[in-house]
Amino acid sequence: FFQNITSKFFLKKNMSEEHTSTIIVAVVIYNEKEELLMIKEAKKECQGKWYLPAGRVSLGEHIKDAAIRETQEEAGLVIEPTGIFSIEYHPYEDGYLWVRYGVTGRVKKGKLKQKADDESMEAKWVSNGLLKNMAENNELRGKDFFSLLSDFKNMAENNELRGKDFFSLLSDFKNMAENN
């Protein structure tokens, strides 16, 4: 599935038209305890806020490689991407294009990041209850990723994800996305 998806297609097309584009990957991974992988942001504008491992895809970089790189840089874990469950596409009137790929996968190796650097301050596995508390206490960088989690849940409900039944993991995210 990942074979032909790179940022080059989008960026090259738009560069010839003198438009700018941003291609993003956001990684949704759960562990065996049904906890979501989250990172604490280090960037000045959102420092200390929690979010999914995510970031820009470099020019010509494969979506799969970007998901692996961002997760390793921000969370300290090496992952194996297993699929894309969401694509959000936002063209703007000025020609700017924003695209975000929701990528899922499984952890192959590594330890959660505990030492801050330019990429993130730390990473941790977050339970459903803790995620709700973080949202209520304004500890999240944004609530936009609830739409990603809702897409993930919908695919799980429709048996479009392989492996474990994720329905029980994500029972509340659809409601959270609709309320935010």
Could you tell me which residue, 159 or 55, shows the higher pLDDT? Answer: 55
Contact indicator for 36, 27 with CB cutoff of 8 Å:
no
pLDDT value at residue 159: 65
Mean local confidence (pLDDT), 34-49: 93
pLDDT per position as a tens digit, 50-101: 999 999 999 888 899 999 999 999 999 999 998 888 888 888 888 888 899 9
d(CA 157, CA 168): 10
- What was the pLDDT predicted at 26? 95
97-134 pLDDT per residue, tens? 889 999 999 999 999 999 999 999 999 999 989 998 99
Residues whose CB is less than 8 angstroms from the CB of residue 3 and which lie 6 or more positions away in sequence, other chains included: none
Q: How many residues are given for the chain?
A: 180
Q: Is 164 left (phi over 0), alpha (psi -120 to 50) or beta?
A: beta
Rg from Cα positions in the chain = 16
Question: Is 0.95 surpassed by the pTM of this model?
Answer: no
Task: Name residue 91's amino acid.
Answer: P
What would you measure as the largest C-alpha separation in the chain, in angstroms? 48
DSSP 113-161: --S--SSEEEEEEE-HHHHHHHHHTT-BS-STHHHHHHHHHHHHHTT-S
